[in-house]
């Protein structure tokens, strides 16, 4: 059984943090409709969805992925790189406490969950404007007893590691080679995005199903050529807040 923790879209999302995009109007009602459809898609995959209430004064709080790393053995509460987002972890800690023992990244560490990609027992962490080496060092200390290896990965020109690379099969990654060096992932099969769709590397693997945005048909064709036929889910309104499919849920096994 998989569990997904999600959160309703904040009415203050228009005040979200932005790093690489220009601010444009966000249709709150449309964002909420799309996000509800995303949650229903997860339920349709037999995921037990725990939808947390809106945080009206935390604009980015729908992006719950950034607040925690959930593994089979434990969970790690992050210390988001944007100071405005650090209060988001409080309610996530309460939501995760029934399921996992919790560690917490401490100052001077900063870490966004969007910078974390777990592939087997290796955890890749993007060195970005939001996540730093101190957090990586702390993660290695926390997680080494469970058999994990934590590796820092330099990214360029994007917000998070998962803007540049995500997992689409046990042995396969979807990657934008303009934003990350493919040599960081030896032994993995790599599917490159179509270069005309620079944000197309973000896909969400749920069990054996890949969720994907309909905005990237050329890269979708690359996935299908590799035998991966994704379920399309439109979260384009949250994309205006630099959000993506992986950002909107914490998905983990019920143990």
| pLDDT value of position 211 | 98
Set 16, 35, 158, 247: catalytic member? 247
In sequence order, what are the residues at sequence separation of 6 or more whose Cβ sits closer than 8 angstroms to the Cβ of residue 183?
none
Q: What is the pLDDT of residue 1?
A: 93
Please state, in angstroms and rounded to a whole number, the distance separating the CA atoms of residues 236 and 213.
8
Which token pair is 103?
């560690």
Omega of the bond prior to 108 within 30 degrees of 0, cis? Answer: yes
Domain ranges of the chain: 2-19+27-253
List the beta bridge partners of residue 231: 211
Residue 48 has pLDDT above 90, yes or no: yes
Catalytic residue selected from 35, 158, 160, 248:
160
pLDDT, tens digit, for every residue of 55-65? 999 999 999 99
Widest Cα–Cα separation across the chain: 46
Q: How far apart are CA 139 and CA 145, in angstroms?
A: 11
Q: Is 57 a catalytic residue?
A: no
**CATH class of the structural domain 2-19+27-253:** alpha beta
Check: CB of residue 210 under 8 Å from CB of residue 231. Answer: yes
| Average predicted confidence (pLDDT) for the chain | 97
pTM for the whole thing? Answer: 0.97
Tell me the per-residue pLDDT of 86-106, one tens digit each, with 9 for 90 and over: 999 999 999 999 999 999 999
160 catalytic? Reply is yes
Across the range 75-93, mean pLDDT stands at: 98
State residue 255's pLDDT score. 85
Taking only the tens place, the pLDDT of each residue in 162-214 is 999 999 999 999 999 999 999 999 999 999 999 999 999 999 999 999 999 99
């Amino acid at each position: 059984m998989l569990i997904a923790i999600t959160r309703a879209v904040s009415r203050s999302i228009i005040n979200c943090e932005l790093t690489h995009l220009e601010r444009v109007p966000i249709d709150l009602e449309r964002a909420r409709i799309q996000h509800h459809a995303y949650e229903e898609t997860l339920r349709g995959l037999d995921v037990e969805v725990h939808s947390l209430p809106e945080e009206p004064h935390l604009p980015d709080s729908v992006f719950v992925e950034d607040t925690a790393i959930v593994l089979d053995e434990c969970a790690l509460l992050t210390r988001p790189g944007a100071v405005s987002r650090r209060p988001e972890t409080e309610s996530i800690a309460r939501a995760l406490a029934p399921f996992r023992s919790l560690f917490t990244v401490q100052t001077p560490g900063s870490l966004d969950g969007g910078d974390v990609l777990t592939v087997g027992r290796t955890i890749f962490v993007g060195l970005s404007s939001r996540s730093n080496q101190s957090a990586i060092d702390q993660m290695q200390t926390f997680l080494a007893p469970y058999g994990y290896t934590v590796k820092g990965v330099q990214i360029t020109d994007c917000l998070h590691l998962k803007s540049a690379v995500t997992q689409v099969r046990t042995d396969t990654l979807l990657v934008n080679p303009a934003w990350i060096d493919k040599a960081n992932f030896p032994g993995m099969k790599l599917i490159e995005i179509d270069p005309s769709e620079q944000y197309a590397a973000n896909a969400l693997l749920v069990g054996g199903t890949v969720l994907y945005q309909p905005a990237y048909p050329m890269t979708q064709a690359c996935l299908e050529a590799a035998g991966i036929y994704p379920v399309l889910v439109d979260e384009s309104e949250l994309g205006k807040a630099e959000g993506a499919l992986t950002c909107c849920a914490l998905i983990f096994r019920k143990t």
